[in-house]
Structure 1
């Protein structure tokens, strides 16, 4: 077999092993070392050690454990119930106010934590019973929570954007600035949809009862000041420090971690047990991401050494695609990969295959990264492997999984609408970076 054929065999075996359920990080390392030994001999072991050290010393990746810790400690500050209740009352005059409040809470909490499973689970315990008790259609209620909980993948400070920036060599600061308007666009589309449903058919999203809505504005304002304002202040401080050049992403992440501790202490929730759980979960998730990074680098390096990337590049170039057709093809493939794979595997294993093609088709890696972040929303919402649906099912066993799947489909369609808008109005990606950085 020629080296390119060996490279394609390597990729095929990897996909097969992933489908069989083997651990992704160690499968990547084993495949990279095995085929690397075939290609370059003993030196592959030296490269493995050097790359493992390089990942651990990468300044960009330092932000990951700090942002994760901020998310886990904020999650344990028990701020979510206060935030949801105050937003629910503040939006009481809006059609489908409970759904709008749920989406706003999801967006804020997802921004603060970036942990999809945590947001969907907590909102499933808090907002889903409230919506069902108010007479909401169960499909609409479940779709709101599943879709809203995934916004943290796109809205900064997103862990996904940090990983993409490290893989593509794109500034994380610019990625964060570029993701703000697309993230707000998607959240706004969700809210417009639920308000439209509430206006057209009030039975699927009834208004709050007079008893529940009969709360003085002074009380509502106090609740917002003690729940909404502290969390927004933390988010604005972290993002503002990054976007205005006051701190690097990992320095801002350190500020966020400290802010999360202070927030938990202010609410009287900073106990040793909660702190220990946050540290443990941070270490566990960080180790997974870092070993994925090591494995992906070893695998992609050996794959390139065997000319596997060249084979794919020749095939795609041979299709004689336009820039738009290439973008659509890439996004379709990423969408399909989202069915069996998680976002970390897509970003670390498969996105690097597209990166060498970007300059051939004249695609800006910044724009491509935001499209990928938007597209990866679908991996959490697309049946049969819609992880958001299964997170919700785990805390709401009385809900039928098919009803949850049907509930997320309109929101899945809105993700595609947002992608079409970005294709046609790329200024949504470039406006904030151009204003801030030229």
Structure 2
């Protein structure tokens, strides 16, 4: 077999082992080291140690020299260097800090106050409880970026209230599932940090580019919720006085000031300090983590047990992302060295695609990958395969990254592996069936596709803020 054929075999084995359910990070590292041993094999380096063997050497010395000869391969140097590179990456340092901020905020009992306040404030809006749930999801998802936590918490809090208010089960479920995924798109997004590290695109420009698409998607969600509530009132009946009591305007303003503004201020302070160059993402994430602790103390929800849980979950998630990077870097280095990247590039060139066709093909592949894989695996492993091809079609990596972030919303919403639906089903009342949840999320998937179409037709939705603030 030629080296490019070995590279394609390597990629095929990786996909096959993924579907067997083997942990992806270890799969990447094992294949990278295994095929890398073949790729970087140098008989002279290997026999350099063996040649020091002589008849007088004891068993211990002989074994030591044989082991030294076996490990005298550049793949092990590559693996160590890649591990150090990931651990020393300044961009990735922001990940554990933003995660910690999210886990602390999740445990600060803010969401129940926020949902109740927005529910009362929007009582005269069609589908008011759905609107309140969606805005709460969007704000909380932005603060945490942890899809499972947002969907689970809102499912425990908002779903029973919506069902009690006679909301359609599918409609209510779709709102919570779709709203809970917004945190992987709207800054400060963990996903965008990972994409920035994988692509080399400035995280500051990515954050500014994601703002308008994120707000556009939230706006489309709200239009759908309000519009369907007007056209089909039975799915979202107007609340009665017993379900949502009349509260004086002054009291509503106090409730908003104590529930909405503190969390919104924390998010805007963190995001604003990054976008206006007042702090690096790592420095802003540090302030956000401290602000999360202050919020928890202010709401009297801070305990050492919650602190311990937040630290543990942060370390666990960060370790997963970092080892995925180590495995991906090792795998991709060996894959490129064997000529696999060149084979893919020549294959795509031979298809004679237009830029639009390439974008459509790439987004279709990422959409399909979202069924069996999580966003972190797609960004770290598969998106780098597309990145070298962008220059062939004159596509800005910034624009491509925002399209991918939007596309990955669907990975949490589309059957059969709609993780948001499974998160919600795990805590939903027994009468809410999984098929009803699937039916509820599909209209929101259509909203995502509409948003992606708007971005392609009007690319200034992506480029306006980065160009206005930082120039071309």
TM-score normalized with structure 2 length: 0.92
Q: Is the 8 A contact 1:55 1:290 kept in 2?
A: yes
Alignment correspondent of 1:171:
202
Match of residue 122, structure 1, among 153, 158, 163:
153
Aligned residues: 438
Correspondence list, 1:91-106, <5 A: 91-106=122-137
Within the candidate set 334, 349, 359, 2:366 is matched to: 334
Give the secondary structure class of the aligned counterpart of 1:360.
Answer: helix
2:341 counterpart of 1:309: yes
Identify which of 361, 372, 377 aligns with 2:404: 372
Are the equivalent residues in 2 in contact too, given 1:106–1:123 (CA < 8 A)? yes
Give the conservation status (yes or no) of the 8 Å contact 1:24–1:292. yes
1:7-58, Cα deviation, whole Å (9 max, x unpaired): 0000000000001100010110000000000100311111111111111111
1:31 is matched with which residue?
A: 31
**Aligned-partner Cα distance in 2 for 1:76–1:340:** 30
- Shifted more, 376-385 versus 390-399: the winner is 390-399
Number of the residue aligned with 1:50: 81
Alpha-carbon deviation of 1:2? Answer: 0.5
Q: Does the 8 Å CA contact 1:92/1:213 hold for their aligned counterparts?
A: no
Alignment of 1:322-401 (within 5 A): 322-398=354-430, 399-401=432-434
Q: Note the C-alpha offset of 1:213.
A: 3.5
Counterpart position of 1:10:
10
Q: Which residue of 2 aligns with 1:227?
A: 259
Query: Are 2:283 and 1:251 aligned?
Result: yes
Output aligned runs, 1:136-285, within 5 Å.
Answer: 136-211=167-242, 212-285=244-317
* Map of 2:447 onto structure 1: 414
Following the alignment from structure 1 to structure 2, what is the Cα–Cα distance between the partners of residues 20 and 215?
56
TM normalised by structure 1 equals 0.99
Residues in 1 aligned to 2:17 and 2:150: alpha-carbon distance in whole angstroms: 30
Equivalent residue for 1:286?
318
- Please list the CA deviations of residues 271-318 of structure 1 after superposition, one character each: whole Å capped at 9, or x if unmatched: 100000000000000000000000000000000011111111111111
- Distance in 1, matches of 2:129 and 2:458, equals 31
Q: Give the whole-Å Cα distance in 1 for the aligned partners of 2:449 and 2:38.
A: 43
The DSSP-based 3-state class of the residue aligned with 2:234 is coil
Structure 2 residues not aligned, in runs of 5+: 42-72
2:262, 2:357 → 1: CA distance? 45
Q: Deviations over 1:405-434 (max 9, x none)?
A: 111000011110100000001000011111
Query: Which 4+ runs in 1 deviate beyond 6 A?
Result: none
Residue 91 of structure 1: how far off its partner (Å):
1.0
SS at match of 1:359: helix
Kindly indicate whether residue 323 of structure 2 is the aligned counterpart of residue 295 of structure 1. no
**Residues 60-103 of structure 1: CA deviation (Å, up to 9, x unaligned):** 00000000000000000010000000011111111100001111
Q: Alpha-carbon deviation of 1:397?
A: 4.7
SS at match of 1:254: helix
Partners of 2:95 and 2:124 in 1: CA distance:
39
Mapped to 2, the partners of 1:269 and 1:210 lie a distance apart of: 31
Q: Give 5+ residue unaligned stretches, structure 1.
A: none
SS in 2 for 1:269: coil
Alignment of 1:75-86 (within 5 A): 75-86=106-117
